[in-house]
């Protein structure tokens, strides 16, 4: 049976160890190759499909990810809901390393990415409403599931999508802070708007890997190697949340 839920796994979530894998599928799309094979399996007795955003071996940088192929293939196989996990830098005070958050808004600072399905061979120019970049019902379900597990998570916050792959300067983060952003990541856009263009319910579970540049106690350079350890622990909690929802 075609799963109705897809999980797009970000950094440190290239696999879901709680997923009982049934089969894999290598598919291509009119937009090229998705980041990884589709991995089908059972999570908590429910069929789900898993896609590794940065590739199975974590080799695709944020600006090189084929977001259109990833979303298109999920929609094509019949998925209705997409839960995306994403590592972020924490800007707002409650976004300390290791924290989980369900962003409710986005500001897009990316550039030069293929960010729409509506550009070629159009019979008319098409605009989608993007007032709510994340599906409120799916967000609510995730928040409730997290609460029921006794896991703490921030229930709102604006996600700043930056171009990467470099991290930001301290001044850039001060600007994002002034813009009202709570967290910063590199993969949230155009993933969210492409999902919306296809009519998919899309919500993100953000995992804070580090204080964003210039923030935190030490206000030192970000220890890029330490990010992995923080994420390993926090992603274990993220897996619980995802498994409980499926
Ligand atoms: N900035 C942007 N993306 C990120 C960060 C960050 O500090 N940490 C993890 N992903």
Residue 92's domain is classified under what CATH number?
A: 3.40.50.1580
User: Which residue's C-alpha comes closest to atom 10 of ligand 1?
Assistant: 88
Q: How far is the CA of 211 from the centre of ligand 1 (A)?
A: 8
pLDDT value at residue 230: 82
User: Which residue's C-alpha comes closest to atom 6 of ligand 1?
Assistant: 89
Phi-psi region of 100 (alpha: psi -120 to 50; beta: other; left: phi over 0): beta
pLDDT value at residue 172: 98
Please, which residues have CB within 8 angstroms of residue 196's CB and are 6 or more apart in sequence?
128, 129, 130, 133, 202
Q: What residues in the chain have per-residue pLDDT under 50?
A: none
pLDDT value at residue 241: 86
Please, which residues have CB within 8 angstroms of residue 33's CB and are 6 or more apart in sequence?
66, 69
Domain count, the chain: 1
**245 contacts 141 by C-beta, under 8 angstroms:** yes
Torsion of the alpha carbons at 87, 88, 92 and 98, rounded to the nearest 10: 40
Q: How far is the CA of 165 from the centre of ligand 1 (A)?
A: 9
pLDDT value at residue 58: 86
CA proximity to 23, closest of 7, 46, 39, 2: 39
User: Which residue's C-alpha comes closest to atom 3 of ligand 1?
Assistant: 185
pLDDT value at residue 73: 98
Counting from 1 in the atom list of ligand 1, the atom nearest the Cα of 162 is 2
Containing domain of residue 107, as a range? 5-245
Other C-beta atoms lying within 10 Å of the C-beta of residue 65: 21
User: Which residue's C-alpha comes closest to atom 5 of ligand 1?
Assistant: 89
How does pLDDT run across 130-159, given as a tens digit for each residue? 999 999 999 999 999 999 999 999 999 999
Q: How far is the CA of 104 from the centre of ligand 1 (A)?
A: 18
Asked if residue 93 has a cis previous peptide bond (ω within 30° of 0), the answer is no
Other C-beta atoms lying within 10 Å of the C-beta of residue 173: 22
| Residue 212 DSSP symbol | P
Partners of residue 42 on adjacent β-strands: 20, 47
Q: For ligand 1, which residues put their CB under 6 angstroms from it?
A: 87-89, 162, 167-168, 184-186, 209-210, 212
User: Which residue's C-alpha comes closest to atom 8 of ligand 1?
Assistant: 89
pLDDT value at residue 227: 80
Token pair in block for residue 204: 């993100």
- Alpha-carbon gap, residue 35 to 68, rounded angstroms: 10
What pTM does this model have? 0.94
């Amino acid at each position: 049976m075609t799963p109705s839920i897809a999980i797009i796994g970000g950094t440190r979530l290239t696999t879901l160890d709680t997923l009982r894998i049934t089969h894999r599928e290598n598919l291509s799309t009119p937009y090229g190759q998705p980041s990884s094979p589709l991995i089908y399996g059972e999570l908590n007795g429910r069929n789900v499909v898993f896609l590794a955003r940065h590739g199975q071996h974590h080799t695709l940088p944020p600006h090189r990810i084929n977001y259109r192929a990833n979303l298109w293939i999920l929609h094509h196989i019949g998925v209705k809901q997409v839960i995306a996990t994403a590592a972020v830098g924490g800007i707002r005070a409650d976004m300390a390393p290791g924290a989980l958050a369900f962003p409710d808004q986005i500001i897009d600072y990316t550039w030069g990415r293929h960010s729409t399905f509506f550009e070629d061979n159009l019979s008319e120019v098409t605009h989608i409403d993007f007032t709510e970049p994340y599906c409120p019902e799916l967000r609510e379900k995730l928040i409730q599931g997290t609460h029921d597990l006794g896991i703490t998570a921030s229930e709102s916050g604006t996600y700043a999508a930056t171009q990467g792959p470099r991290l930001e300067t301290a001044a850039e983060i001060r600007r994002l802070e002034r813009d009202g952003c709570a967290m910063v990541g590199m993969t949230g856009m155009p993933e969210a708007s492409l999902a919306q263009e296809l009519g998919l319910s899309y919500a993100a579970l953000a995992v804070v890997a580090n204080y964003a540049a210039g923030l935190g106690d030490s206000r030192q350079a970000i220890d890029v190697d330490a990010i992995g350890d923080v994420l390993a622990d926090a992603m274990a909690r993220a897996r619980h949340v995802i498994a409980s929802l499926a």
